[in-house]
C-alpha cells in the first residue's frame, strides 16, 4: 500500500537590515541564529520576506537618521517591519514617525525580538523537523566565514561626556569566560581563521564579576582580559594554524602590558585598537576621560620594544566643546610623537542625552572641518611613511577575496596583513595569485609597493 508523502510546511522567511558597529552585527547574527533554530528561513530581499528586522544604531544623530531611513525603506518595500537595536530605546519617536511598525525592542533584547517575530510570522511547527536533534546547528553569519566577531561583554562603566552607550546598553556585563572560550573554539573549528574580540571596554572584562574563575579544560581561568587572551592564543585551526586573535576597544589599563609578550610570541595578533579620543589634558578632562597621555607615550615605546611589529590603531574626536587651537595643536604634536599606525578621526557631533551637549564654548562647524582636514593629513603622512618602510619585506596576510581572471588570465586578490582589521583599516592587493586560492587562506607576501593606506605585493608562499 502506497503512503502519501508528508509535505512539510514552508518555513516563514525573515529579512534583516543591520546597521551600526560590529557589536550590533554580532547581535544580528545571534538573533538570526535563534530564528533559524526556530525553523525560520532567511530572505535576501524585501520581496521574499514575511517580516523584516531593522537593527538600528542610535549613537549619533546622523546614525539615527540613517536608521530612520532604513526603517522607512523597509516599510515601503515590505510593510511588515520589526525594529530593534540601540535606537529601540526611542520607541515613541519611532512609532510617531512610523506607526505601522509591528514592534520595537531595545539593544540586545534577543528574546523580545524573537517573540515579536513569532507573533508577526508564526513558525511552522512540524515534529519531523522540530524533533530532529541538532548537536551543532551552527551560527548564521553576516561576516565572511573566515573571520568572526567574538563579543565578550555588554555595556560600559565609563561616563564619557560625549557618549550615551551606558544609557543604551547599561553597565558592564561580562560573559562567562568558559562560554566565551567555548564559542571561540566552535568558531575556529567551523572555519574561522581570525577572531575579532569586541566589547565596549575589552580591558575591563570581568570587573563586574570580580574576575571570577571558571573551569576550562580541567584548569581554572579568571574572567580577565589577560587570561582570556592567553587561552585564545592556545586555539588551533583544524589544519594546525594559530588563528589570528585581534583585540578591539582596549583601554590602556596597566594589565594591558601583560598581553604584549603574547603578541611577541605569535599567540596574539600584534594589534591593539585603543580609543584614545584626544591627547590634550584639558579636552580629556572635559570628556571625562583620564588625562594620562604622557604615560601612554612611555608605554607605547615599551610595547614596541617588546613587540616591534605591533600595530596601534586609535580614533580621535576633533571640535569637542571648549577645544582651543592650542589643544588641537597639542594633539597634532602628540601624534607626531606617538606615531600611531592606523587612525580614524571624527568631528564632534552632539548626541541627544549626552552631557557634552551642555558644555560651553562649542566649536564652529567651519573650524571642525578645518581641524578634521589637518588631523587626517597628519595621520595620512604618518601612515604613508610606515607603509613605505614595509616595501621589500615579507608579511603574512589572510585572503579576503579572490577576483576573476583579467584579459591576460591573471587573477588578483584582496588580503589583509596583521596590521589591518576588516572594514576599518587598509588592505593588501595581490597580483597574479596561485590557481585555486580561496578566501581565508594564509599566505606570505613580498610587499612591492605602498601608498598612504594600502600595500601591494605578490604571494611567495602559502602558509
Residue range 60-74: mean pLDDT, rounded: 91
Residue range 13-30: mean pLDDT, rounded: 85
Residue 143 has pLDDT above 50, yes or no: yes
Q: Domain spanning 13-127: which superfamily?
A: Methylthiotransferase, N-terminal domain (3.40.50.12160)
Band (pLDDT 50/70/90 cuts) for residue 11 is: confident
Length of the chain as a residue count: 463
**In contact, 98 and 72? CB cutoff 8 Å:** yes
Dihedral angle, C-alpha 253, 259, 263, 266, nearest 10 °? -160
Report the half-sphere exposure of 379 (CA within 13 A, side-chain side). 23
pLDDT tens per residue, range 91-141: 998 999 999 999 999 877 777 888 899 999 988 765 444 433 343 445 566
**In contact, 191 and 145? CB cutoff 8 Å:** yes
Residue 416 has pLDDT above 70, yes or no: yes
pLDDT tens per residue, range 300-349: 999 999 999 999 999 999 999 999 999 999 999 999 999 999 999 999 98
Q: Which of 210, 206, 144 is nearest to 179 (CA)?
A: 206
CA dist., res. 147 & res. 149, Å (int): 7
- Ordered by start, the domain boundaries in the chain are 13-127, 147-388, 394-462
Residue 364: count other Cβ atoms within 10 Å of its Cβ.
9
The binding site comprises: 21, 57, 86, 156, 160, 163
Residue range 63-88: mean pLDDT, rounded: 93
Report the half-sphere exposure of 209 (CA within 13 A, side-chain side). 18
CA distances from 210 to 50, 110, 123, 229 (A): 45, 26, 41, 18
Q: Which fold has domain 147-388?
A: pyruvate-formate lyase- activating enzyme (3.80.30)
Residue 1 has pLDDT above 50, yes or no: no
Residue 432: count other Cβ atoms within 10 Å of its Cβ.
13
- Helix axis angle for 177-189 and 225-232, nearest 10°, is 20
Report the half-sphere exposure of 292 (CA within 13 A, side-chain side). 12
Task: Extract the C-alpha cell encoding 160.
Answer: 564619557
The binding site for [4Fe-4S] cluster comprises: 21, 57, 86, 156, 160, 163
Band (pLDDT 50/70/90 cuts) for residue 165 is: confident
Which of 3.40.50.10860, 3.30.310.50, 2.40.50.140, 3.40.50.720 would CATH assign to domain 394-462? 2.40.50.140
Amino acid at each position: 500500500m502506497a503512503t502519501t508523502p508528508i509535505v512539510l510546511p514552508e518555513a516563514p522567511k525573515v529579512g534583516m537590515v543591520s546597521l551600526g558597529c560590529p557589536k550590533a552585527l554580532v547581535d544580528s547574527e545571534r538573533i538570526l541564529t535563534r530564528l533559524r533554530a526556530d525553523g525560520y528561513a532567511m530572505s535576501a530581499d524585501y520581496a521574499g520576506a514575511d517580516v523584516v528586522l531593522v537593527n538600528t544604531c542610535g549613537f549619533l544623530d546622523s546614525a539615527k537618521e540613517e536608521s530612520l531611513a532604513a526603517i522607512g525603506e523597509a516599510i515601503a518595500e515590505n510593510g511588515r517591519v520589526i525594529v530593534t537595536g540601540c535606537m529601540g530605546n526611542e520607541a515613541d519617536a519611532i512609532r510617531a514617525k512610523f506607526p505601522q511598525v509591528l514592534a520595537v525592542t531595545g539593544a540586545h533584547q534577543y528574546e523580545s525580538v524573537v517573540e515579536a517575530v513569532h507573533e508577526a510570522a508564526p513558525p511552522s511547527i512540524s515534529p519531523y523537523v522540530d524533533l530532529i536533534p541538532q548537536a551543532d546547528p551552527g551560527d548564521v553569519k553576516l561576516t565572511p566565514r573566515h573571520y568572526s566577531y567574538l563579543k565578550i561583554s555588554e555595556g560600559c562603566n565609563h561616563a564619557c561626556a560625549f557618549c550615551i552607550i551606558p544609557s543604551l546598553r547599561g553597565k558592564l556585563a561580562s560573559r562567562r569566560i568558559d562560554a566565551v572560550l567555548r564559542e571561540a573554539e566552535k568558531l575556529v573549528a567551523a572555519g574561522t581563521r581570525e577572531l575579532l574580540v569586541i566589547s565596549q571596554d575589552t580591558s575591563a572584562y570581568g570587573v563586574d564579576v570580580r574576575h571570577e574563575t571558571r573551569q576550562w579544560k580541567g584548569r581554572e581561568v579568571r574572567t580577565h582580559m589577560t587570561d582570556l587572551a592567553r587561552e585564545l592564543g592556545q586555539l588551533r585551526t583544524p589544519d594546525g594554524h594559530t588563528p589570528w586573535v585581534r583585540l578591539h576597544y582596549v583601554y590602556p589599563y596597566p594589565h594591558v602590558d601583560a598581553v604584549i609578550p603574547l603578541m611577541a610570541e605569535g599567540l596574539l595578533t600584534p594589534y591593539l585598537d585603543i580609543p584614545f579620543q584626544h591627547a590634550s589634558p584639558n579636552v580629556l578632562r572635559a570628556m571625562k576621560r583620564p588625562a594620562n597621555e604622557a604615560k601612554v607615550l612611555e608605554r607605547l615605546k615599551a610595547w614596541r620594544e617588546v613587540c616591534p611589529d605591533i600595530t596601534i590603531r586609535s580614533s580621535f574626536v576633533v571640535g569637542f566643546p571648549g577645544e582651543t587651537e592650542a589643544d588641537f595643536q597639542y594633539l597634532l604634536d602628540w601624534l607626531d610623537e606617538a606615531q600611531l599606525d592606523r587612525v580614524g578621526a571624527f568631528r564632534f557631533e552632539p548626541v541627544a542625552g549626552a552631557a557634552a551637549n551642555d558644555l560651553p564654548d562649542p566649536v564652529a562647524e567651519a573650524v571642525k572641518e578645518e581641524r578634521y582636514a589637518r588631523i587626517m593629513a597628519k595621520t595620512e603622512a604618518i601612515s604613508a611613511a610606515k607603509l613605505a618602510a614595509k616595501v621589500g619585506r615579507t608579511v603574512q596576510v589572510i585572503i579576503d577575496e579572490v577576483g576573476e581572471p583579467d584579459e591576460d588570465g591573471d587573477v588578483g586578490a584582496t588580503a589583509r596583513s596583521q596590521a589591518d582589521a576588516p572594514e576599518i583599516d587598509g588592505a593588501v592587493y595581490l597580483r597574479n595569485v596561485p590557481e585555486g586560492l580561496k578566501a581565508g587562506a594564509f599566505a606570505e607576501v613580498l610587499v612591492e609597493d605602498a601608498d598612504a593606506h594600502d600595500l601591494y605585493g605578490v604571494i611567495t608562499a602559502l602558509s
